[in-house]
Amino acid sequence: MRRVLGRPVDEQTRCVHYRTPLDVIAIKFGCCQEYYPCHSCHEETAGHPAVQWPVEEYDAEAVLCGVCGHELSVREYLAVDGCPRCRARFNPGCALHAHLYFEPAPQD
């Protein structure tokens, strides 16, 4: 499993801020290429401001399933509600914070 920084509380990447049964992803921040459980963990411990993933880099692996360790591209993550490898469900509430991690895709 990849190293997850910040304030994780278990081996499935839950943290002190988000720790429901569905909070099982970590995000690789484009600014530092390090995985954190959430935007708050990055803000509290990274020592620099977060930078969103640009749309042009949506094919980069940037989301880690905390259940099986599978890495998803930004594009893949935004299109699913769970891990394509192990079928672990992801928290649908994470969509409320997507703008903190990913630059919004242009609307057609």
Give per-residue pLDDT as tens, 8-38.
889 999 999 999 999 999 999 999 999 999 9
Q: Residues with Cβ < 8 Å from 10, sequence gap 6 or more?
A: 19
| 13 in a structural domain | no
What is the count of structural domains for the chain? Answer: 1
Domain range for 76: 25-101
| 33 in a structural domain | yes
Inter-residue contact 83 to 22 (CB < 8 Å): no
| 19 in a structural domain | no
| 79 in a structural domain | yes
pLDDT, tens only, 36-84 = 999 999 999 999 999 999 999 999 999 999 999 999 999 999 999 999 9
Prediction pTM value: 0.93
